[in-house]
Amino acid sequence: MSVGVVGAGTTGLALTHYLADRGVDVVTFESGSRAGGVVRSGYHEGRVLEYGPQRTRLVPELAELITELDLWRELRIADGDLPLYVYADGRLREVPRSVRGFLRTDLLSTGGKLRLLAEPLTAPGRADERAACLFARKLGSEAYRNVVEPLFGGLYGSDPADMPAEHALSRLLAVEERKGSLLRAAVDGLVRGESPPPVSFDDGMERLPRALYESHRPYVHLSSTVSAVRRAGERYVLEAGGRRVEVDEVVLTVPAPAAATVLEGLDGANAEGLRQLHYNSLALAFLDSAADREGFGYQVRRDEPLRTRGVTFNHSLLGREDLYTVYLGGSSDPDALERSSAELGRQARREFRTVVGADADVLEVTKLPEVIPAFDTSWRALADVSLPEGITLAGNYTSRIGLPGRLRQARRIADRLAEDGVAAGPDDKP
């Protein structure tokens, strides 16, 4: 059994790691000159800036990798109890994450709290409704508008009113079916302390993909764009930068439009639907401020008159001195990237002052075009995608978006392939 992996972001690198660990012959191609994909860290005057994820959760899969890659000494573990805020009706309000927090929060009125507690009496969520309808129907419109929309929508930069539950909430629907109620599932999770702490590394999030690449360097070929996959009898040939490599199985861990291009012309494949999937663009502005705010950061309610979608308090969360990261863009501001970096920086600084009440200097602005899968109605096009046996799609548009989900999906695929290739197709659901 040999496996060709296309893309060396977190999914491709983790898959390479798990396959190599299971004794499977693996070859991985990455078009960029560095591994890591959207996980990218840099330095600005000695301070770590994150151009992708600011942190992730220390799930067991990550802890295992950290042990295997000998990274514990470089790990920064944040305080998981730091407050998280939503900016609503002109001020920051704490998101409840405990029973005490629920009783105390001013994000919900007494009526809104009682309505939320009635969730077990509501009809189960349905795959054919939009995420916004499902949440508002089950949790009440106030909890939806003030808590769920800013946090859940903020994750994807999308409006939950455009996100079909079938694609955006399939895991939540399964949890509800298993537990009988969303509220019960949430309370069970709180009681069992199911939320591992947020983490990063001294040199930033890119330390993980860099370590994965370093430990599998012989199998990972950088600056090698896969232009096509072709049939070779029962096997496949990957065409990458003038080379042709024959493998038994192919796993594409690249974004959907790139996967469509690679599969174009492959006998038996209908991958055109992948091109329809919509990705949101983001801009990140890095601010230097002596605000000294405690917490994870905040998300902004959609109807507030701000362009900022969210802010991470890197200063308090991970000890990155005086650093705050502002997220702009997403579906509520689709033209954000057409504004100049200077204008985006000024906007970020102005709105930071409005919300936090402190001045800031703009260190840098970075634009990330079409970087986050929207999980909106364009996901319906996946129904038309059919692939021949031996081709697997992986990556954040097929499954969960966060890095823990990337590691879990890579491990599941490696287990399946190591047991000798079962049928292909989108591996699992968000």
Pick the piece of the chain touching ligand FAD (CB under 6 A) from 37-45, 101-109, 160-168, 170-178.
37-45
Q: Does 372 bind ligand FAD (CB under 6 A)?
A: yes
By CB under 6 A, the residues from 179 to 208 that bind ligand FAD are none
At residue 295, the 3 state secondary structure works out as: coil
Identify the residue among 32, 196, 421, 426 touching ligand FAD (CB under 6 A): 32
Beta bridge partners of 247: 236
Q: Are 163 and 378 in contact (CB under 8 A)?
A: no
* d(C-alpha 154, C-alpha 327), whole Å: 10
Both tokens of 119, joined, read: 């969730």
Q: Does 325 bind ligand FAD (CB under 6 A)?
A: no
* d(C-alpha 236, C-alpha 265), whole Å: 13
Q: Does 283 bind ligand FAD (CB under 6 A)?
A: no
Q: Does 16 bind ligand FAD (CB under 6 A)?
A: no
The long-range contacts involving 312-321, CB below 8 angstroms and separated by at least 24 positions, are 312/54, 312/55, 313/82, 314/50, 314/54, 315/289, 315/291, 316/82, 316/292, 317/54, 317/55, 317/78, 317/82, 317/198, 318/54, 318/55, 318/76, 318/78, 318/198, 318/200, 319/76, 320/47, 320/48, 321/47
Terminal Cα-to-Cα distance of the chain (whole angstroms):
29
Q: How far is CA 333 from CA 157, 164, 218, 298, in A?
A: 9, 20, 43, 18
* d(C-alpha 3, C-alpha 275), whole Å: 24
Q: Does 40 bind ligand FAD (CB under 6 A)?
A: no
Pick the piece of the chain touching ligand FAD (CB under 6 A) from 28-36, 88-96, 160-168, 315-323.
28-36
Strand pairing of 297-300 and 220-221?
unpaired
Q: Does 254 bind ligand FAD (CB under 6 A)?
A: yes
Q: Are 300 and 86 in contact (CB under 8 A)?
A: yes
Identify the residue among 8, 20, 92, 175 touching ligand FAD (CB under 6 A): 8
Identify the residue among 138, 309, 406, 411 touching ligand FAD (CB under 6 A): 406
Identify the residue among 20, 24, 26, 39 touching ligand FAD (CB under 6 A): 39
Nearer to ligand FAD, 30 or 166 (CB): 30
Identify the residue among 56, 200, 314, 331 touching ligand FAD (CB under 6 A): 56
Pick the piece of the chain touching ligand FAD (CB under 6 A) from 2-10, 78-86, 120-128, 356-364.
2-10
Nearest distance from C-beta of residue 137 to ligand FAD, angstroms: 28
Identify the residue among 27, 374, 403, 417 touching ligand FAD (CB under 6 A): 403
Q: Does 12 bind ligand FAD (CB under 6 A)?
A: yes
Nearest distance from C-beta of residue 359 to ligand FAD, angstroms: 25
Both tokens of 423, joined, read: 């049928």
Rule CB under 6 A: which residues touch ligand FAD?
Answer: 6-12, 29-32, 37-39, 52-56, 225-226, 253-255, 258, 262, 282, 368, 371-372, 395-396, 401-403, 406
